[in-house]
């Protein structure tokens, strides 16, 4: 029986999710080149990961990087690889809290509008907000950003900075847009990547592979969900 240290382990094994099947499909070893390139921002002329950049990042030889791409990541290196290509657990936890709070805020806007105005009116949170999906330039990656619908030209440029607009939809309030963004990120969860070597002003922590199956943004305007993605903390050990 081979030693556990030398046994290739699939990249999708990550502690924060219970949906192993979805992660296996999204993060199989054969997609490692695309995943590393997306996370590290290191592509060669053929659109594959730059082995030189990746080898420096992980402290291994270029030949080792190529072997990982071909055969999978050894268990001894898996945690390091995951820490560089996936958002940290704390980011997922915070997104979950944001979703719960935003749903409560949307309800308050309807049931207690006077209090909602006092809490968020001066911030512009009760005005319309746009949710946009941006294709990052030169990378097989999308990210999601928000901006007030009534914005100036400078804010419009910031919305698409570093990429190009793929899709945009308008929501009745800031909190409604937050709910939609959170639900979208839940839907593409298995395909999420953390962009490391990037100069993006925003969106590096909310990026996902462009091949991720997703619904149109307008579908999130209809009826918001009430459930949230479970984490391993929700399951009995």
Predicted confidence at residue 13, as pLDDT, reads 34
DSSP string, 92-119: HHHHHHHHHHHHHHHHHHHH-HHHHHHH
Alpha-carbon distances, residue 97 vs 50, 93, 103 (angstroms)? 36, 6, 10
Predicted confidence at residue 132, as pLDDT, reads 95
Structure tokens that stand for 74 in this block: 């050894």
Q: What values do phi and psi take at 15, rounded to 5?
A: -70, -15
Could you tell me the residue ranges of all domains in the chain? 4-85, 89-224
Tens place of pLDDT per residue across the chain (237 aa): 333 333 333 333 333 433 444 544 555 544 555 666 665 655 554 445 667 777 777 778 888 877 777 776 676 776 677 667 778 778 888 888 999 999 999 999 999 999 999 999 999 999 999 999 999 887 788 999 999 999 999 999 999 988 899 999 999 999 999 999 999 998 888 788 877 655 565 667 888 888 888 899 999 887 655 555 554 344 344
Kindly report the number of other CB atoms within 10 A of residue 3's CB atom.
Answer: 9
pTM for the whole thing?
Answer: 0.73
Predicted confidence at residue 5, as pLDDT, reads 32
82 in Cβ contact with 14 (< 8 Å): yes
Return contacts of 231-237, CB within 8 angstroms, 24+ apart. Answer: 231/16, 231/17, 231/18, 231/92, 231/93, 231/96, 232/15, 232/16, 232/17, 232/18, 234/18, 235/18
The residues, ordered by sequence, that sit 6+ positions from 83 with a Cβ below 8 Å of its Cβ are: none
């Amino acid at each position: 029986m081979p030693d556990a240290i030398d046994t290739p382990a699939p990249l999708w094994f990550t502690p924060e999710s219970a949906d192993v099947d979805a992660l296996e499909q999204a993060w199989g070893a054969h997609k490692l080149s695309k995943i590393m390139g997306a996370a590290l921002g290191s592509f060669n002329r053929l659109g594959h990961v730059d082995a030189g950049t990746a080898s420096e990042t992980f402290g291994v030889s270029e030949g080792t990087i190529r072997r990982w791409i071909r055969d999978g990541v050894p268990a001894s290196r898996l945690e390091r690889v995951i820490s560089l290509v996936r958002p940290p657990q704390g980011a997922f936890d915070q997104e979950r809290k944001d979703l719960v709070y935003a749903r409560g805020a949307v309800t308050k806007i309807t049931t207690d509008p006077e209090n909602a105005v006092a809490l968020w009116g001066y911030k512009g949170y009760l005005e319309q907000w746009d949710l946009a999906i941006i294709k990052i330039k030169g990378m097989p990656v999308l990210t999601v950003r928000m901006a007030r619908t009534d914005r100036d030209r400078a804010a419009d440029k910031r919305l698409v900075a570093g990429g190009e607009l793929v899709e945009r939809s308008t929501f009745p309030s800031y909190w409604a847009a937050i709910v939609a963004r959170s639900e979208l990120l839940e839907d593409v969860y298995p395909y999420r990547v953390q962009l490391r070597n990037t100069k993006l002003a925003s969106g590096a922590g909310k990026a996902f592979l462009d091949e991720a199956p997703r619904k149109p943004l307008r579908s999130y305007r209809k009826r918001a969900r009430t459930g949230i993605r479970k984490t391993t903390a929700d399951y009995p050990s």
